[in-house]
Structure 1
Amino acid sequence: MGSPKKNQNKGLFAAMTSGFSMFGTAMQRSVNGLLGYEGMEVIDPDGGKDDAEEEANKGRWKQEDRDSYWKMMHKYIGSDVTSMVTLPVLIFEPMTMLQKMAELMEYSYLLDRADECEDPYMRLVYATSWAISVYYAYQRTWKPFNPILGETYEMINHGGITFISEQVCHHPPMSAGHAENDHFTYGVTSKLKTKFLGNSLDIYPVGRTRVTLKRDGVVLDLVPPPTKVNNLIFGRTWVDSPGEMVMSNLTTGDKVVLYFQPCGWFGAGRYEVDGYVYNAAEEPKILMTGKWNESMSYQLCDMEGEPLPGTELKEVWRVAAVPESDKFQYTHFAHKINSFETAPKKLLASDSRLRPDRYALEKGDLLKAGSEKSSLEERQRAEKRHREDKGHQFTPKWFDLTEEITPTPWGDLEIYQYNGKYTEHRAALDGSSASTDADDVRSTEFNPWQYDNLSAE
């Protein structure tokens, strides 16, 4: 299948070629920076004047912190640093990766509409717009906490959705998630792979995301593009996701292929997304265009990918209003995820909200956050030693490891499947007359541990 054409006045292939050329040039300059020009800011994605000093004034890094961290990190260039490096708490946000997985549910109404839609191509327009919608939140440059093995996150009170995620493996770090409402079920197994390049980090989403639309039983499969964190240590940190997103209808063979344009000089092309909905014969049926930080629109097209006469672009999704000058660049939904507003009664003690390091960071106590983070990591290591001494294997509670291994563009992936036990657990609690006070939940001690009364020594 050849590259599609972008509608109207801009050729997509030309834009892609130009964009990738600029991206390659920028990468070359970034490498030059590592060879002795670390302070040089090669790309300003927003066309502004923010620099390392201004970023430091925002409380992110002090220059001496950057220099010290660079001395420690440069030996890892070319490595996967997903779980091999202990990171300072000052670069974290008060959220875990399990919570960040739940951010994909903010615009879940788009999946509801996909389920209700009878047109098979419009169904993909809605579903793909849902997949794109989370990228506004993903541009945050703060790092979420790595979950402790056995840690969970629960969410209710949003679009009728019940959401559960669990850290199912520590080496390599793997998470599994399940969400469901009256219109769809969502399942994901996630295993991030990284490559540290000095002042930047490539993140490869070695995962599988499946959505089943309940009305017709249609199964959708999502393959997202990789992500790049630029100016990780020196300069103004920013995130880009250049590459291809593919949403496939495994039931019919239809699919969407969208191209996330790479950021060029002074932000040229950043945020732009273009592509087509194709039928099973790989013929374009609907073009899609927009910006992942603003909105997405669609228009019917002919066999050449050109807009049909008499049709016009129609908006299908627009990002919701966000808080101004938020310290962690959180959306309103991100704040909701961190609150107990979306928590069910009798919250699992393993829930991310209850992590003492996360809570201390949320309250602005970096010293306590760092101490609590170290304590949790020591306890996790002690559990690992004890488990190995006993010859035990860790077994997740809410997900089962299957025998299925699926290929991804970045490596093979072991699949964890939701086992339904959480649904039974929650139904039993919801059916009881007991209530849980919010203050009681907050005072619950974080406990994802497999063994009780195990010393961290």
Structure 2
Amino acid sequence: MVNHERLHTVTFLKYFDRDSYWKMMYKYIGSDVTSMVTLPVLIFEPMTMIQKVAEILEYSSLLDLADECEDPYMRLVYASSWAISVYYALQRTWKPFNPILGETYEMVNHGGLTFIAEQVSHHPPMSAGHAENEHFSYDLTSKLKTKFLGNSLDIYPVGRTRVKLKKAGVILDLVPPPTKVNNLIFGRTWVDSPGEMVMTNITTGDKVVLYFQPCGWFGAGRYEVDGYVYNADEKPKILMTGKWNEAMHYQPCDLEGEPLPGTELKEVWRVAPAPAHDKFQYTHFAHKINSFDTAPKKLLASDSRLRPDRYALELGDLSKAGSEKSSLEERQRAEKRNREGKGHQFVPRWFSLSGEVSQTPWDELEVYEYNGKYTEHRAAIDSSSCDLEVDPKFIEFNPWQYGNSEAE
């Protein structure tokens, strides 16, 4: 069902107020606007950036298959298809909320997977995430670098993604391509990610290089992905082709990259059906991310689901969402002044600085690592004899309960 009030508001912004909106944004041309601009809530979706990080886990079963696979090259076919699968969700052009420093997101009840993410820095905005099941562990330090170009925005993923396949005993490193958001103010907004995605098995030296075709005239080439799985000697072993909004396929190839005789192109991943006419273009999994059905018992008070601005927007109350957003931002500033006045330094609870500085194609990155405390926290709750459960809807959002130098 179409949200006509929201559609009308967005139409008003696009066609009647775009001149004043353009004047507001003009001074930021050429700048990194990740945390510089206060934007109207009507362009937001009811999800925060650290929740959006969790969307890469929708097709985590592909990593299970990668771990179970004996063929080292097919292992990369499964794993890289998992990395591609999240791009379907990136078609959404609503902006997620910036997380509050200390904000968290927890997820369970998804294929035996446990996921925790935390906003570990405000300037620059950085988050860290850790997921784990019996087959793999996934670790992410995320830092976005942007460049505002007027009617478009370039987004550079200055982050590090590592996946450890437990049975296979290998570690995979992922470097995604940059993303470009087109027609931010004038025209119909759309997203493209032209460039190379590289996933490397840093244990063996094998890798997969996939090229995201840029969108040409009249949409030619948009969504298309092509590339190869290479062995450690950089010889092609398997070709891969498909569309990141539909499906990916693979086929064994010769040293020239041509399909081997007697083989055929096979499907490895296909996007799941999505709800029709969803007002935020959400998938079924995106709705699960916002749902308390995927939340563990005794949810942390810092969890994104509990944000009053996010929840008000989900209910369609733009006015309340805007006022709650402003209130949270002001409280964050007040908390910072109070913390600095006491000489305290913010310390994340579930992640710690590793001391490692990673070199990415776009910038240096201080790497955060999972410290294991969340696993201990959840084990203590699960073993507790206390059955008293608080309805998560009545938990007050509080991301400031641990964030200082005296954190446990």
User: TM-score, normalization: structure 2?
Assistant: 0.95
Cα drift, residue 58 of structure 1: 5.7
| Contact residue 68 and residue 168 of structure 2 kept, 8 A | no
Deviation at 1:387, TM superposition (A): 1.7
Q: Which secondary structure state, in structure 1, belongs to the residue aligned with residue 333 of structure 2? A: helix
Distance across 2 between alignment mates of 1:60 and 1:208: 35
> Are 1:383 and 2:335 counterparts?
yes
What letter matches 1:209 in structure 2?
T
Cα deviation, residue 406, structure 1: 0.6
| Equivalent residue number for residue 88 of structure 2 | 136
Aligned to 1:327: 279
Letter in 1 for 2:308: P
Separation of aligned partners in 2, 1:253 and 1:326: 43
Q: 1:89-140 CA deviation, whole Å, 9 max, x = no partner? A: 0000000011100001100000000000000000000000000001000110
Q: Is this contact kept in 2: 1:349–1:445, CA < 8 A?
A: yes
1:383 and 1:451 in contact (8 A); partners too: no
Whether 1:249 and 2:201 are equivalent positions in the alignment is yes
* Letter in structure 2 aligned against 1:236: R
Alignment partner, residue 161 of structure 2: 209
Alignment correspondent of 1:346: 298
- The 8 Å contact of residues 80 and 193 in structure 1, kept in 2 or not, is answered as yes
**Distance (whole Å) between structure 2 residues aligned to residue 289 and residue 55 of structure 1:** 41
1:242-301, CA deviations, whole angstroms, 9 ceiling, x for partnerless residues? Answer: 010000000000000000000011110000000000000000000000000000000000
Per the alignment, in what secondary structure is the counterpart of residue 294 of structure 2?
A: coil
How far apart, in 2, do the equivalents of 1:88 and 1:61 lie?
Answer: 14
1:13 counterpart residue number: none
In structure 2, C-alpha distance between the alignment counterparts of 1:435 and 1:326, rounded to whole Å = 37
Match of 2:406 in 1: none
Contact 1:55/1:236 (8 A) holds in 2: no
1:121 aligns with 2:73: yes
Counterpart residue type for residue 400 of structure 2 = W
Q: How does 1:64-103 map to 2 (within 5 A)?
A: 64-103=16-55
Cα deviation for residue 66 of structure 1 reads 2.0
Letter in 1 for 2:348: P
Give structure 1 stretches of 5+ with no counterpart. 1-53, 453-457
Is 2:258 aligned against 1:316?
no
* 1:61 Cα deviation after fit: 3.9
The amino acid of 2:18's aligned partner reads R
CA distance in 1, matches of 2:43, 2:190: 13
| DSSP 3-state at the match of 2:26 | helix
**Contact kept in structure 2, 1:284 and 1:304, CA below 8 Å:** yes
Asked whether the 8 Å contact 2:6–2:42 carries over to 1, the reply is no
Secondary structure of the corresponding residue to residue 17 of structure 2: helix
What is the alpha-carbon distance in structure 2 between the residues aligned to residue 56 and residue 387 of structure 1?
38
d(CA) in 2 for partners of 1:435, 1:72: 52
* Deviation for aligned residue 1:434: 3.1
SS in structure 2 at match of 1:341: helix
Contact 1:345 1:436 in 2 (8 A): no
Matched, 1:422 2:374: yes
Offset, 1:64: 2.5
| SS of corresponding position for 2:67 | helix
Across the aligned residues of Structure 1 and Structure 2, the Cα RMSD in angstroms comes to 1.5
Aligned to 2:142: 190
How many pairs were matched up? 398
Whether 1:445 and 2:403 are equivalent positions in the alignment is no
On the 8 A contact 2:236/2:257 being kept in 1, the answer is: yes
Query: Could you say which residue in structure 2 is the equivalent of 1:277?
Result: 229
AA at the equivalent of 1:307: P
Secondary structure of the residue that 1:396 maps to in structure 2? coil
- SS of the residue corresponding to residue 354 of structure 2 reads strand
Amino acid at match of 1:259: Y
| Contact 2:106/2:116 (8 A) holds in 1 | yes
The TM-score with structure 1 as length reference comes to 0.85
